[in-house]
Structure 1
Amino acid sequence: MATALECREALTTFSENLGKASGNARAAAQLDRSLTCWITDLDITFAGRLRDGRIHDLVETPGKPAERAQIRLAMAGDDLVAMVDGSLHFAKAWGSGRVKVEASIFDLLKLRGLL
């Protein structure tokens, strides 16, 4: 089972990868939205702001997200780590219910360039 530190490192790597994105992924990464990622098996939430192609102000809190972010993710820590390292494809994880995404329809359409 992934640790909280491994999940934070995965989100940091994901943020760095966003900064290097090009094409449709770059356009999607330019959104300015609040973001939460609830790690269900650890029952912790990482919250931050997707802005300028990176995740800024990433903080960790216990439990489910306290506030409703504009983009909300929920998954197990191992799935987060696997998606960031490339061993799990987002579409497969989402289709099987391992990853949940909640956002406006506009944001979902923009985010598919990242996923």
Structure 2
Amino acid sequence: MASVEECRVALAKLVTQFDEIDEESRAKHVVERTVSCRVSDLGVTFYGRLHHGGLDPFTEQAPPDGRPAEVKLTIASDDLLALTDGELDLARALLGGRVKIDASFGDLLRLRRLL
């Protein structure tokens, strides 16, 4: 099991990877959404925001408006690290139940094109 700090580093890496997506693709596929990532085995949830300019850094602070995230990921800590390191394929992880995404169908399609 990875630590909370290792998960923070992995999510920071995800933000960096997302920033490397060209602006044209982001403009075409990104809709502003709030995002949560619940690390199931650590009992911690990280929050971020997806927008045309990129993906904001994740924090453990819930949004001040108190509304639930529009895109919710649930993943184990080791799988989060493997995913951000490129060792775990997102599609296979979803099909295998290792990653759960709660989002609208349209958001799922847009995310698939970006990841």
Same fold (TM over 0.5): yes
Tell me the equivalent position of 1:76: 76
**TM-score between the two structures when normalised by the length of structure 2:** 0.85
Identical pairs, percent: 40
> Gaps spanning 5+ residues in structure 1: where?
none
Tell me the equivalent position of 2:101: 101
Paired residue total: 111
Letter in 1 for 2:36: T
**TM-score between the two structures when normalised by the length of structure 1:** 0.85
Partner Cα separation in structure 2 for residue 35 and residue 25 of structure 1 = 19
Tell me the equivalent position of 1:86: 86
Tell me the equivalent position of 1:51: 51
Over the residues paired in the alignment, what is the CA RMSD in angstroms?
2.2
What's the secondary structure of 2:6's corresponding residue?
Answer: helix
Displacement of 1:24: 8.1
**Between Structure 1 and Structure 2, which shows a larger proportion of strand residues?**
1
> Gaps spanning 5+ residues in structure 2: where?
none
